[in-house]
Amino acid sequence: MFNSLRKEINQMVNRSLDRSLRIAVTGLSRSGKTAFITSLINQLLHIDQRENNHLPLFEGARNLSIIAVKRMPQADLSIPRFDYEANLGDLSAQPPRWPQSTRGVSETRLAIRYQRNNGLFSYIKEKGTLYLDIFDYPGEWLLDLPLLEMDYQQWSQDLHHLSVGIRAELAQAWLAKLSKIDLKAEANEDILAQLAKEYTAYLRACKQQGMHFIQPGRFVLPGELEGAPALQFFPLIHLAPQQWKKLKAEAGAKSYFAVLNQRYSYYRHKIVKGFYQNYFVNFDRQVILADCLTPLNHSAQAFLDMQEGLRRLFKNFHYGKRHLLNRLFSPRIDRLLFIASKADHITSDQLPNLISLMRQLVQEGGRHAAFEGIKTEYGAIAAIRATRQVLVSEQGMQFKAIQGARSGDRQQITLYPGTVPNKLPDSDFWRENKFEFEQFEPQPLLPGEPIPHLRMDAVLQFLLGDKLN
């Protein structure tokens, strides 16, 4: 009798303890989202009830209160599944290779069964399940938020200001074709498609030069909209204010000008707004990854461009009461984690500098001290650690260096990657410093072992710690 009552109470308590948490992961392309989610799932799946040496900073793993972690069918069937198996397959291949990067949204669900530590009654063995939904989406999509406040002319003029230096050079071919179009003439679908394709090629070329401020964000990562007319428009950056005025007064309903206006408007209202409405507002916690090291390899303009891209991306989270995002959608994110990724490219003594650089990028030199009402943290991690740190002796002195298989020829190399600037680099800095952050191939995975990482346990503690008590 007492036993069955206890069982019943147990079940009741367990049911009430089940909860779910939606964590979104974003970052510009190649910032390390795929690597991050693959590693996060892998670290959790390797938790076991005897010991968890791979996650010393994650309380639930260290004190063995997590009983089991399982993959589950995802909640939203319309969203593509995050392909964990394929990614793990890539890392386990001989030789191992990096998994395929994020191209659109994807989702995955885990169930974490855990023992409660501070339960109601000590004699009831309280267990709970945390359903964890992990949602991956390109950061480029967040660059489109300002479009909600700009009409076609304002947007075009905004981009006109950015078209200088390398960007202006790369835009030349597309602009030459665009200037030949009579915007008052009847629109030809094929020509629009072709020009949009060339505009997209220009955006891709910018990316290749290490520049990340890309608008519209969907053009480079269209997801399911590949080839759709909704993405076949472009900014009219060559027009002067007088020409806009004239076109608005004179262009007919079937003209290029009218069709471009309609498509821009559709993109804003249906695609950009749709993303925030359907997905963004449902996230509980957000991880934002940034690769702050690779742009240091390129140029001052590439770095400034990344800074601009990130500034616009971060703006999505600086939401105070009057912020556009809050006014339109009231998001519910309560924790925000900014991560400088690929920290295995530098020696451990440089980690504080990397975190400090990241902080400065996020806070624009301290102007936004905090994200209103959101618990925020900054970290540097390697989701998939491809290097080892070693000590090298030279002329009686010892240096920290890193060792790994160089990208391409897979030759084992040892190098001292240099000093990471701890604040936003100025022009003197670019004259005096030269960076060569090599790319590395992933290390072979040992059978049954988790993916080697750096500080993924601290990440798990911040994201999940309070939910597993």
Q: Per CB under 6 A, does 101 bind ligand GDP?
A: yes
* Interface stretch with ligand GDP, choices 146-154, 337-345, 354-362, 414-422 (CB under 6 A): 337-345
**DSSP assignments along 13-46, one per residue:** HHHHH-EEEEEEEEESTTSSHHHHHHHHHHHHHT
Rounded Cα distance between 63 and 460, Å, is 14
Of the candidate residues 267, 338, 440, 462, the single one contacting ligand GDP (CB under 6 A) = 440
**C-beta atoms surrounding 32 within 10 Å:** 26
Cβ-contact 341, 293 below 8 angstroms: no
Rounded Cα distance between 9 and 21, Å, is 25
Q: Which two tokens stand for residue 358?
A: 């990241």
Of the candidate residues 32, 331, 379, 417, the single one contacting ligand GDP (CB under 6 A) = 32
- The nearer residue to ligand GDP, 132 or 382, going by C-beta atoms, is 382
Residue 455 Cα distances to 72, 93, 342, 344, 452, angstroms: 25, 24, 11, 11, 10
Q: Which two tokens stand for residue 374?
A: 């959101």
Q: Per CB under 6 A, does 98 bind ligand GDP?
A: yes
- The nearer residue to ligand GDP, 279 or 440, going by C-beta atoms, is 440
Q: Per CB under 6 A, does 290 bind ligand GDP?
A: no
Q: Per CB under 6 A, does 363 bind ligand GDP?
A: no
Minimum CB distance to ligand GDP, residue 45 (Å): 18
* Interface stretch with ligand GDP, choices 64-72, 94-102, 140-148, 392-400 (CB under 6 A): 94-102
Helix (H) or strand (E) run with residue 244 in it: helix 241-250
Q: Per CB under 6 A, does 31 bind ligand GDP?
A: yes
Q: Per CB under 6 A, does 386 bind ligand GDP?
A: yes
Minimum CB distance to ligand GDP, residue 205 (Å): 18
* Interface stretch with ligand GDP, choices 23-31, 65-73, 271-279, 355-363 (CB under 6 A): 23-31
**Cross-strand bridge partners of residue 392:** 399
Would you give the distance in Å from CA 157 to the centre of its chain? 27
Q: Per CB under 6 A, does 467 bind ligand GDP?
A: no
Of the candidate residues 341, 347, 350, 461, the single one contacting ligand GDP (CB under 6 A) = 341
**C-beta atoms surrounding 309 within 10 Å:** 24
Minimum CB distance to ligand GDP, residue 429 (Å): 24
Rounded Cα distance between 262 and 233, Å, is 9
Q: Per CB under 6 A, does 26 bind ligand GDP?
A: no
Cβ-contact 422, 77 below 8 angstroms: no
Minimum CB distance to ligand GDP, residue 332 (Å): 24
Of the candidate residues 383, 463, 464, 468, the single one contacting ligand GDP (CB under 6 A) = 383
Binding site for ligand GDP (CB under 6 A): 27, 29-35, 98, 101-102, 341-342, 344-345, 382-384, 386, 439-440
